[in-house]
Amino acid sequence: MNIIQHRLTEVTQRTTPNFDERPDPEDISLLVIHCISLPPGEFENDYIDQLFNNQLKTDTHPYFKDIFQLTVSTHLLIKRNGLCVQYVPFDKRAWHAGKSSHEGRERCNDFSIGIELEGTELLEYTEQQYEQLAKVVSALLKTYPKLSTQRITGHSDIAPGRKTDPGASFDWQRLLERLK
């Protein structure tokens, strides 16, 4: 897997209007792991894509009435079957972290790459997701010199008290062992 013009090769490319320019496109120095499922606990549908494209319909599921107005995105989504979708080029700012802080730096969206795993905080992630995530992270580490295995964190770590993902079900050691 390679990165050409800040896009991964060998993954599905989709667009989203929910991104903007980074203050410093050279300052890509943090990876943030998230999880998402829409509605919660349900998989293998198009609702995540609809959310990232501001097309979620409130009459589809009661849960959507509370979130349809969100303007959010991620750089990457890794589905349960390992399929990877890129929504935002890495040199652009995806809107994934919200109010956040890492090592005293606010606004993590400015300097981070967001990776969503289709899942929940309580359900084990799939082998296909760990395999794909390791390939993606390896490509990112090779391309962006400010990234390292020590600069991979969870959404819960940069937004404590507000976010809990990727949750206790994410096996950090399992990922790190694949990166050696």
**Which residues on neighbouring strands pair with residue 3, listed in sequence order?**
8
Q: For residues 115 and 89, give the distance between their C-alpha atoms in angstroms, rounded to a whole number.
A: 12
Angle at 15 between CA 11 and CA 17, to 5 degrees: 150
Amino acid making up residue 161: G
Note if 106 is an active site residue: no
> Which position among 116, 124, 127, 177 bears the catalytic label?
116
User: Catalytic site residues?
Assistant: 116
